């Protein structure tokens, strides 16, 4: 048996161990999800070892120089370090040896359009070198169906231990919204769990019941739980595609999509989403491709999922086309474009797969004489923009000055508070076109003299 043998304990004993600081968690991957989970378990009373392959990140966290996205996370990590209950390390094998529960949160990316399980495999191999009898392994990463068992088989082969008999294994999808993750886990959503057998499921249930006020929902099989998480993202992708298409129709018909949406959603069976610049992040654009890969393997075509992904991939081009039309309306010989927002979603700094990158590429390919600058209040440095030779600033005045095309690409709160007059005055240009990809400008119906406005779900309003 391992340090404590959590797999073989009853619910009461597990809860008692957490609250008495005797249970040790190792968390593999210290991204948004990993740090959120670390904070949650620290707040519950456990000891936590965070593992990451990025030495600079580990050093930043231990020196409290990391940019934590939530005050609850920063506070928990800070207190954990001071009390000797938290350690960030590069040594995953030592972490596995010293912990009772190993949580996997490393991402699964795409390689040549297919899921890349190399990081998952690497973590499984590391854990197998430190796991002992009675330990529990929990996968929280969003993964293609069947990945949990894939991890289990690697651990079995390398450690000589058997799933369910010697070590516990299960899947529990993370269900957090960046910026409020701690509260999502502790207060907002029920936790979904599924073990590879009854002992694993019982151990998972006992753990998460300690921290999840909304309770725990048991899936009958890890594949069910894995699919549940992916289906959440696919649902969003399909409905965003629908919103983007209906928004374009509203614009062409000369009406405001926001108004139509509000009225339609007064019916409880209708839940129209908001349009935007596209779909970004490491989740929603990726999950449909996980599902498609699994569907291909069993011969099930997913036509709607495929089409929706295509619609959302084209949305940045649609925004770029609006810019092209704006240059024609204004009669510009040179387009000086300010793109407001690099993060894929409002009020965060996450730029992974952001539609802004695609908008920039489309603009540079569509407008012969085009100069672009990007503003984001949350992003101070970006390697991709640097390689593209595109300027990035956190100074809004600097971004807007002398610009004649302004694209609101991210729905940061700071942009929703802007007026057309403020934008135009800051540019100091006589003619300015404002392309509002998220329909967040409030005074859009009354543009000042020299201003052209269009939203992704609103008609053109021209005052030149």
What's the CA gap between 127 and 132, in Å, rounded? 10
Residue 110 burial (10 A CB sphere; 0-12, 13-18, 19+): middle
The vertex-278 CA angle with 448 and 420, nearest 5°, equals: 10
Q: What is the 3-state secondary structure (H, E, C) of 241-266?
A: HHHHHHHHHHHHHCCCHHHHHHHHCC
Q: With CA atoms as reference, report the closest residue to 26 among 118, 109, 108, 93.
A: 93
Given 191, 199, 229, 431, the catalytic residue: 229
Residues 393, 443, 450, 430, Cα dihedral to 10°: -30
The string of DSSP letters for 342-368 reads: -SSSTTS---TT-HHHHHHHHHHHH-S
Given 250, 283, 323, 451, the catalytic residue: 283
What's the CA gap between 460 and 454, in Å, rounded? 5
The vertex-184 CA angle with 104 and 195, nearest 5°, equals: 40
Assess contact for 405 and 337: CB atoms under 8 A. Answer: yes
- Check if 283 is active-site: yes
Assess contact for 385 and 393: CB atoms under 8 A. Answer: no
Helix, strand, or coil (residue 454): strand
**Sheet with 461-463: strands ordered across:** 391-393, 370-375, 335-340, 405-408, 432-436, 451-455, 461-463
Helix, strand, or coil (residue 421): helix
Helix, strand, or coil (residue 133): coil
Strands (E), 4-74: 24-28, 47-51
Q: Facing residues of 104 across strands?
A: 28, 139
Catalytic positions, please? Answer: 229, 283
């Amino acid at each position: 048996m391992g340090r404590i043998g959590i797999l073989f304990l009853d619910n009461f004993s597990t809860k008692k161990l957490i609250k008495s600081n005797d249970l040790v968690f190792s968390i593999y991957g210290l991204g948004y999800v990993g740090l959120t989970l670390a904070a949650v378990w620290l707040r519950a009373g456990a000891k936590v070892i965070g593992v990451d392959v990025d030495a600079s990140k580990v050093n930043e966290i231990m020196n409290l120089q990391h940019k934590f996205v939530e005050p609850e996370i920063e506070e928990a990590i800070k207190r954990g370090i001071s009390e000797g209950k938290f350690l960030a390390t590069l040594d995953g094998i030592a972490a596995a040896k010293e912990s009772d529960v190993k949580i996997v949160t490393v991402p699964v990316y795409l390689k040549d359009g297919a899921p890349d399980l190399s990081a998952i495999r690497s973590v499984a191999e590391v854990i197998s070198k430190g796991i002992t009898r009675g330990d529990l392994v929990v996968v929280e990463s969003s993964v293609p169906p069947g990945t949990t068992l894939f991890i289990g088989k690697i651990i079995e082969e390398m450690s000589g231990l058997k799933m369910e008999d010697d070590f516990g294994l299960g899947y529990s999808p993370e269900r957090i919204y960046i910026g409020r993750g701690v509260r999502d886990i502790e207060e907002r959503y029920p936790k979904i769990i599924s073990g590879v057998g009854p002992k694993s499921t019982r151990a998972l249930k006992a753990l998460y019941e300690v921290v999840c006020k909304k309770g725990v929902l048991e899936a009958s099989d890890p594949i069910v739980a894995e699919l549940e998480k992916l289906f959440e993202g696919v649902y969003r992708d399909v409905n965003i595609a629908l919103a983007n298409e209906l928004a374009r129709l509203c614009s062409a018909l000369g009406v405001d999509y926001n108004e139509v949406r509000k009225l339609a959603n007064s019916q409880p069976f209708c839940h129209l989403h908001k349009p935007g610049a596209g779909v970004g992040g490491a989740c929603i654009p990726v999950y449909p491709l996980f599902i498609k890969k699994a569907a291909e393997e069993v011969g099930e075509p997913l036509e709607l999922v495929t089409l929706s992904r295509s619609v959302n991939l084209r949305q940045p081009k649609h925004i770029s086309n609006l810019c092209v039309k704006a240059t024609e309306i204004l009669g510009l010989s040179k387009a000086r474009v300010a793109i407001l927002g690099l993060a894929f979603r409002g009020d965060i700094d996450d730029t992974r797969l952001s539609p802004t990158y695609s908008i920039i590429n489309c603009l540079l390919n569509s407008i012969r004489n085009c100069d672009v600058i990007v503003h984001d209040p949350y992003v101070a440095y970006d390697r991709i923009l640097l390689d593209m030779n595109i300027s990035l600033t956190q100074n809004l005045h600097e971004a807007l000055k002398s610009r004649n095309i302004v694209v609101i690409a991210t729905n940061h709160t700071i942009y929703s508070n802007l007026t057309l007059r403020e934008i135009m005055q800051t540019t100091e240009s006589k003619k300015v076109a404002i392309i509002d990809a998220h329909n967040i400008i409030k005074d859009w119906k009354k543009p000042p003299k020299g201003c052209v406005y269009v939203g992704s779900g609103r008609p053109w309003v021209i005052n030149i």
